[in-house]
């Protein structure tokens, strides 16, 4: 398959990439290419110019300081999967993305900019309360993950804005986990649940839960959180709280050739319970 | 057209390419190294797997221009005088039927074992999730990778 013709430039800096994309009417950024190149081949995307971020070293890598972990937009899923600095829920989810070849190319920035409802990272970033740092012609800003994902393949990025890094709080005493049901061919999520919990005095203190893969955009599972907050963590309380995910998923559950909406609804409580149990077992 | 330079199997090549040229087509059509196969052309099957700067990647989902300045190994470059242990193991364990998926399987598996010499059977199966065999010869493929890991 051949993409339609386009020009190509390799940006040397974020500033150059911003300048190139914003001064051109039909330009697209290229990171790992593992969502964009398939779309180019199918001619779902037909840009006149590709601005390749691939060699901007400043956008790569994971660093930790003062309780915060910062992940460059160009960091690959393989790097995230191998990181001890990231919260467990992120490294665990990264290791479940696609396959090794996909993880070697796919990047954090490309994943979230694409906002595929079947992606894993939006779910993880919402659970972690991530801040998404972007740079554009008007300067830089940080967007909370809750506000970043707007709809199916739609984010709150403005024209010409580039994701530079994602910040999440470092994990200390919390435990976290990601549980996923796969599409058997692509390994994208049919349903994924991310949970992070802290335990104090034998009860659940701080809890964040999110779900994705089954709704047009990943959602925060407020009902699950409310049902478990302040409760002791055992099978009974976890099963009870996990059942509340039906309310969080709401009416807009996706059904497609891989899994019907009814199937996704029927597995949701079980998958949520597994994520909560695994997170609780890791909390200290 | 854009000029790119790549080192493939130890040999340096400079060529003018269209930006839309896929790396797999560059390898097969421009360099005439046809050991790397194209099967699905949709990033799913892994038949086109090569090593790009030391990492297994699906070359149907990389543009040739993205590889400028990089070092590549294809199935033709894996043997070094004698068959690579992974190639020998596929031979010994009959890890192929029609052979179409084999170059990609071997390239992916070689990296798995290099990164994890103590690899378990479960890890082999998980690690080869990006490679599909339409002949469904997985049993012998897994046996071959296990043999190579011990070699
Ligand atoms: C076979 C296969 C299986 C996969 N399985 C999974 C899975 O299980 N789970 C999962 O989550 N993902 C999965 N993916 C997606 C993959 O892991 C990548 O996350 C995804 O391809 C996007 O990252 P990329 O770097 O390849 O982005 P690209 O394809 O280069 O870009 C994607 C989009 O993001 C834009 N973009 C890229 N970088 C930036 C930036 N810094 N700022 C602003 N915009 C930007 C581009 O313009 C483009 O519109 C799979 C992909 C494939 C091919
Ligand atoms: S041909 Fe590249 S993944 Fe199938
Ligand atoms: S041996 Fe025929 S596709 Fe694998």
Reported as a single tens digit per residue, the pLDDT across A62-115 is 999 989 999 999 999 999 999 999 999 999 999 999 999 999 999 999 999 999
* pLDDT tens profile A24-71: 999 999 999 999 999 999 999 999 999 999 999 999 999 999 899 999
Separation between Cα atoms, residue B63 and residue B74, nearest integer Å: 16
pLDDT range class, residue B65, cuts 50, 70, 90: very high
The answer on B93 and B58 residing in a single domain is no
Query: For residue B80, what is the DSSP state?
Result: B
Position A184 pLDDT exceeds 90: no
Q: CB of B115 within 8 A of CB of B102?
A: no
Position A284 pLDDT exceeds 90: no
- Choose the final residue of a domain: B56, B76, B96: B76
Separation between Cα atoms, residue A248 and residue A189, nearest integer Å: 18
Tell me the average pLDDT across B126-151. 96
What is the pLDDT, as a whole number, of residue A237? 97
How many angstroms does the Cα of residue A141 sit away from the middle of ligand 2?
A: 38
Q: What's the order of all strands across the beta sheet hosting A219-220?
A: A175-182, A189-200, A203-212, A219-220
Tell me the average pLDDT across A11-35. 96
The answer on B6 and B70 residing in a single domain is yes
CATH number of A175-283: 3.30.390.50
Structural domain count of chain B: 2
Is the ipTM value over 0.90, yes or no? yes
Topology of the domain covering A59-169: 3.30.465
The answer on B90 and B67 residing in a single domain is no
How many angstroms does the Cα of residue B22 sit away from the middle of ligand 1?
A: 17
Which residue from B47, B94, B100 has its CB within 8 A of the most atoms of ligand 3, so it is best to mutate? B100
Residue B126 sits in a domain whose CATH number is 1.10.150.120
Return all residues near A13 (Cβ < 8 A) that are at least 6 apart: A56, A58
Kindly report the average pLDDT of chain B as a whole number. 97
Of A33, A100, A102, the CB nearest to B63: A33
Separation between Cα atoms, residue A240 and residue A102, nearest integer Å: 37
What is the pLDDT, as a whole number, of residue B151? 84
What is the pLDDT, as a whole number, of residue B71? 98
Model-wide pTM > 0.95: yes
- Choose the final residue of a domain: B35, B55, B76: B76
* pLDDT tens profile B10-41: 999 999 999 999 999 999 999 999 999 999 99
The answer on B72 and B8 residing in a single domain is yes
Tell me the average pLDDT across A213-218. 97
The answer on B104 and B63 residing in a single domain is no
Ligand 2, atom nearest to B39 Cα? 1
- Which of B36, B125, B130, B133 should we substitute to test contact with A (largest number of A Cβ atoms within 10 Å)? B130
The answer on B61 and B28 residing in a single domain is yes
Helix/strand/coil (H, E, C) string of B23-71?
Answer: HHHHHHHHCCCCCCCCCCCCCCCCCCEEEECCEEEEHHHCEHHHHCCCE
Other Cβ atoms closer than 10 A to B140: 17
Contact residues, chain A, for B130 at CB < 8 Å: 98-102
What is the pLDDT, as a whole number, of residue A256? 93
What is the pLDDT, as a whole number, of residue A147? 97
Ligand 1, atom nearest to A37 Cα? 29
The answer on B26 and B58 residing in a single domain is yes
Q: How far is CA A37 from the centre of its chain?
A: 20
Kindly report the average pLDDT of chain A as a whole number. 96
The answer on B92 and B128 residing in a single domain is yes
Decide: B94 in ligand 3 pocket, CB within 6 A: no
Dihedral over Cα of B99, B112, B107, B79: its sign: negative
Nearest CA in chain B to A103: B57
* pLDDT tens profile A254-276: 999 999 999 999 999 999 999 99
The answer on B9 and B64 residing in a single domain is yes
The answer on B114 and B55 residing in a single domain is no
Q: Which CATH class is domain A7-52?
A: alpha beta
Position A130 pLDDT exceeds 90: yes
What is the pLDDT, as a whole number, of residue A78? 98
The answer on B72 and B6 residing in a single domain is yes
Cα distance from B59 to chain A (closest Cα, Å)? 10
A117: three-class secondary structure by DSSP: coil
Q: In chain B, positions 49-78, which contact chain A (CB-CB < 8 Å)?
A: 49, 55-58, 61-63, 65-66, 68
CB contact under 8 A, A37 and B18: no
Tell me the average pLDDT across A190-200. 97
* pLDDT tens profile B70-112: 999 999 999 989 999 999 999 999 999 999 999 999 999 999 9
The answer on B89 and B72 residing in a single domain is no
How many angstroms does the Cα of residue B141 sit away from the middle of ligand 3?
A: 10
What is the pLDDT, as a whole number, of residue A186? 85
What is the pLDDT, as a whole number, of residue A185? 82
- Choose the final residue of a domain: B57, B76, B95: B76
Domain of residue B51 covers: 2-76
Helix/strand/coil (H, E, C) string of A206-233?
Answer: EEEEEEECCCCCCEECHHHHHHHCCCEC
Q: CB of A41 within 8 A of CB of B24?
A: no
**Burial grade of A162 (CB within 10 A; 0-12, 13-18, 19 or more):** buried
What residue ranges do the domains of chain A occupy?
7-52, 59-169, 175-283
What is the pLDDT, as a whole number, of residue B10? 97
């Amino acid at each position: 398959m051949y993409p339609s013709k386009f020009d190509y430039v390799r940006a040397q800096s974020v500033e150059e990439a911003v300048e190139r994309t914003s001064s051109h009417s039909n330009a697209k950024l290229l990171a790992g290419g593992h969502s964009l190149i398939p779309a180019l081949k199918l001619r779902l995307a037909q840009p006149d110019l590709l601005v390749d971020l691939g060699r901007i070293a400043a956008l790569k890598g994971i660093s930790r300081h003062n309780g915060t972990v910062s992940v460059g937009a160009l960091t690959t899923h393989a790097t995230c999967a191998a990181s001890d600095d990231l919260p467990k829920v992120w490294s665990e989810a990264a290791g479940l993305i696609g396959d090794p070849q996909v993880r070697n190319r796919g990047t954090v920035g490309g994943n979230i900019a694409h906002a595929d409802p079947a992606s894993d990272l939006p779910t993880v970033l919402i659970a972690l309360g991530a801040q998404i740092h972007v740079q554009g012609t008007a300067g830089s800003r940080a967007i909370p993950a809750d506000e970043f994902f707007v709809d199916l393949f739609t984010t709150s990025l403005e024209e010409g804005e580039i994701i530079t890094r994602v910040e999440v709080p470092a994990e200390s005493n919390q435990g976290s986990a990601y549980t996923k049901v796969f599409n058997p061919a692509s390994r994208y999520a049919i349903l994924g649940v991310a949970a992070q919990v802290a335990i104090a005095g034998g009860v659940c203190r701080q809890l964040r839960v999110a779900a994705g893969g089954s709704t047009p955009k990943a959602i925060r599972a407020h009902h699950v959180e409310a049902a478990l907050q302040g409760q002791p963590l055992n099978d009974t309380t976890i099963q009870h709280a996990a059942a509340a995910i039906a309310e969080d998923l709401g009416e807009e559950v996706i059904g497609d050739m891989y899994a019907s909406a009814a199937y996704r609804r029927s597995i949701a409580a079980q998958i949520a319970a597994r994520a909560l149990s695994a997170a609780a077992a890791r909390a200290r | 057209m854009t000029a790119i330079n790549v080192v493939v199997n130890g040999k340096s090549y400079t060529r003018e390419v269209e930006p839309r040229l896929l790396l797999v087509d560059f390898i097969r059509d421009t360099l005439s190294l046809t050991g790397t196969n194209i099967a699905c052309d949709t990033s799913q099957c892994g038949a086109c797997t090569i090593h790009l700067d030391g990492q297994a990647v699906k070359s149907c989902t990389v543009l040739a221009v993205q590889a400028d300045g990089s070092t590549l190994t294809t199935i033709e470059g894996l043997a070094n005088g004698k068959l690579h242990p992974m190639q020998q193991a596929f031979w010994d364990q009959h890890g192929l039927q029609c052979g179409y998926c084999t170059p990609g399987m071997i390239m992916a598996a070689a990296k798995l074992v290099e990164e994890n010499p103590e690899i378990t059977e479960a890890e082999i199966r998980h690690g080869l999730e990006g490679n599909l065999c339409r002949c469904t010869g997985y049993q012998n493929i897994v046996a071959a990778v296990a043999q190579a890991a011990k070699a």
